[in-house]
Amino acid sequence: MSDNPQDTPAIELIALKKTYAATKKAEAKTALHGIDLTIPRGSIFGLLGPNGAGKSTAINILAGLVNKTSGTARIMGYDIDAQTRQARASIGIVPQEIAMDVFFTPFQALELQAGYYGVPKSERRSEEILAALGLSDKRDAYVRQLSGGMKRRLLIAKALVHNPPVLILDEPTAGVDIELRRQLWAYVQELHERGTTIILTTHYLEEAEALCDRIAIIHEGRIVANESKDSLLSRMDKRMLVITPTETLTSMPPALSGLDAQIDDGNLVITYQKGSDSVTGLLNQVKDAGLSIADLRTDQPDLEDIFLQLTYGSDVAT
Ligand SMILES: Nc1ncnc2c1ncn2[C@@H]1O[C@H](COP(=O)(O)OP(=O)(O)OP(=O)(O)O)[C@@H](O)[C@H]1O
């Protein structure tokens, strides 16, 4: 769709800032503090962050639903201010909320959307898109008769009618059952293989892990990580061994000072590297230090821990 060079990123955000104006009820809120983010073409990119981090704000700016305060945003090289029409045509957005006109059939909904984007009748692919999303047999049903999962697939279908090179999925599988989730993942992967750049926001680390090749973490309106999935996951190779001694621990036994360990609530929490440290070896060291073990478990840091680590510089085990 774009005649821009192949190396033009799919998305470029430069010093992108958004401050929502104060209202009678709320103070002004800066949702994005001048973020820089480049999303390469052809990637499946995860934009992760806790509630209120600023993900929807960033997406809504790209979609033209929210006006930025300052900075630059480009989609396939097209500036959203100077080349609005081309920028809009380059992106498809699957929204979080299922708000659809329930009086149309899926086929009609796609045709209307195609009309909205000015796709000529001869170039419409409504049947093909319905088939790809497993909705052919619901072609002429009313949208209100579709299940939640089918409505979600129809939202994806609607975002695809103008064949955008960039597709943004905002929490695509929130509240979706495992089977449908896997189906949606498979379809996202298929689109990716056909060359579509996919951007995904999700709360589910598992989803990002399964699909994304790069991940950015946004926290309180700032990008706190932006790297390949593998590099981010390697940070998570840390595990915690939580040992409850028979007698509550009040100070660290000197024999354990060489370990990456803390005392937490009377428990001994040892952080270790999955794969390279032996749990048996650690347990032997604990026994040799004279502790007897009443109970133990292993914990695995989750995205929350990574946020904490990245944002506050605190240790995973604290
Ligand atoms: N229209 C608005 N007016 C004022 N503040 C807003 C508005 N929309 C969002 N905010 C605030 O901006 C911040 C970022 O919100 P945003 O919706 O972008 O976060 P998010 O990362 O998408 O969160 P979630 O995962 O919950 O969707 C939040 O503090 C939110 O309360």
C-alpha span between 139 and 98 (Å, rounded): 18
Centre of ligand 1 from the C-alpha of residue 218, in Å: 12
What is the sign of the dihedral through the CA atoms of 98, 104, 108 and 113?
negative
pLDDT tens across 219-249, in order? 899 998 999 988 877 776 778 899 999 988 8
Check pLDDT > 60 for residue 315: no
Q: For residue 194, what are its two tokens?
A: 């056909």
Residue 309: helix, strand or coil by DSSP?
Answer: helix
Check pLDDT > 80 for residue 304: no
Check pLDDT > 70 for residue 190: yes
pLDDT tens across 114-173, in order? 998 899 999 899 999 998 888 999 999 988 888 888 888 899 899 999 999 999 998 877
Nearest to 204 by CA among 178, 241, 183, 225: 178
Sequence letter at residue 308: L
Centre of ligand 1 from the C-alpha of residue 310, in Å: 21
Q: What CATH number was assigned to the domain covering residues 237-300?
A: 3.30.70.100
Which residue's CA is the nearest one to ligand 1's atom 3? 20
Burial status of residue 136 (CB atoms within 10 A of its CB: 0-12, 13-18, 19 or more): middle
Centre of ligand 1 from the C-alpha of residue 53, in Å: 7
Q: What is the mean pLDDT of the chain?
A: 87
Among the ranges 27-41, 167-181, 209-223, which has the highest mean pLDDT value? 27-41
Among 55, 94, 97, 168, the mutation site with the greatest number of ligand 1 atoms within 8 A of its Cβ is 55
Is beta strand 78-79 parallel, antiparallel or unpaired with respect to 70-75? antiparallel
**Where in the chain are the domains?**
237-300
pLDDT tens across 91-129, in order? 999 887 767 777 889 999 999 999 988 999 998 999 999
**What is the ipTM metric for this complex?**
0.97
Check pLDDT > 60 for residue 3: no
Centre of ligand 1 from the C-alpha of residue 20, in Å: 9
Q: What is the pTM of this model?
A: 0.78
Which residue's CA is the nearest one to ligand 1's atom 2? 20
Among 19, 29, 47, 200, the mutation site with the greatest number of ligand 1 atoms within 8 A of its Cβ is 29
Which residue's CA is the nearest one to ligand 1's atom 1? 20
**Residue 268, strand partner residues:** 243, 263
Output phi, psi for 141, to 5 deg: -80, 155
Sequence letter at residue 95: P
Cα distances (angstroms) measured from residue 284 to each of 206, 278, 289, 290, 299: 33, 10, 8, 10, 19
Which residue's CA is the nearest one to ligand 1's atom 24? 51
